[in-house]
Amino acid sequence: MAIFFVAGILSGGVNAVAGGGSLVSFPILLASGIPSVSSSATNTAAQVAGGISGAWGLRDRLKGQGKRIGELMLVTVLGAVAGALLLSQTKDEDFSNLVPILIFLGVLVLALKPVIAARFQRVKQGLVWAILLQLAISIYGGYFGAGMGILMLAVLGLVSTGDTHDDNALKNVLGLGINFSAAVFLAFKGAISWGPAIAVSVGSLLGAYGTARASLRMNPELLRWLVVSYGVIMGGYFAYRTWF
């Protein structure tokens, strides 16, 4: 439980600054022996507390963003539930084979964050594309979620009128919508391991709030590459354990 708590602190902090916190917490849950589908569901539930904390920590940056939240929250909730439904229908053996791919996908998204953001900013008809892409990201988030914060930041570049910190605050709210909606569904399905979920949640709550306030002074690029390196190591470990 102490390890889960520390993983939560790191995960919440990473999510608040650079995104990709699930690349920290999910591999630890899986390595502890929790079945793969339950590990993903538990990680989703555990991120809710950090999402609340991170959103509250940047609440002053949400002023005037009610319209954007309204435009994107409905598809966010619908997509998250769809992703959670897909996860609940996946067998542990099949999901275990997907784990290295999903981790490497999250790592790739995090590594290519600047490129993805630049590409999205060139897309015309920003709102329409933002809604469609947010739906796809939410489905992915409800299913697994590593790297979804980076993808959301890129999507918000299509409709944003504020700076990076404003976008980060909105991303935290939408990420909370994904994790909460998926967690409620997965809880009814009995897929969540509540002991580890609570331990990670408490750590995430502390890590996200403290880091959200400190994020204005931190170097997110350094943190991004540290998480990328960690993700490569963990992805390689699970690839070796699963495929060889």
The pTM score is: 0.82
Residues 6+ apart with CB under 8 A from 211: 12, 13, 14, 16, 17, 54, 57, 218
pLDDT digits (tens, 9 = 90+) for 170-227: 888 999 999 999 999 999 999 999 999 999 999 988 887 777 666 656 676 776 787 7
| Contact of 39 with 29, CB cutoff 8 Å | yes
Q: Where are the domains of the chain?
A: 2-243
pLDDT-based confidence at 43, cuts 50/70/90?
A: very high
Per-residue pLDDT, averaged over 13-29, amounts to: 79
Residues 6+ apart with CB under 8 A from 54: 12, 15, 16, 172, 175, 176, 208, 209, 211, 212
Average pLDDT over all residues of the chain: 84
pLDDT-based confidence at 235, cuts 50/70/90?
A: confident
Predicted pLDDT at 242? 82
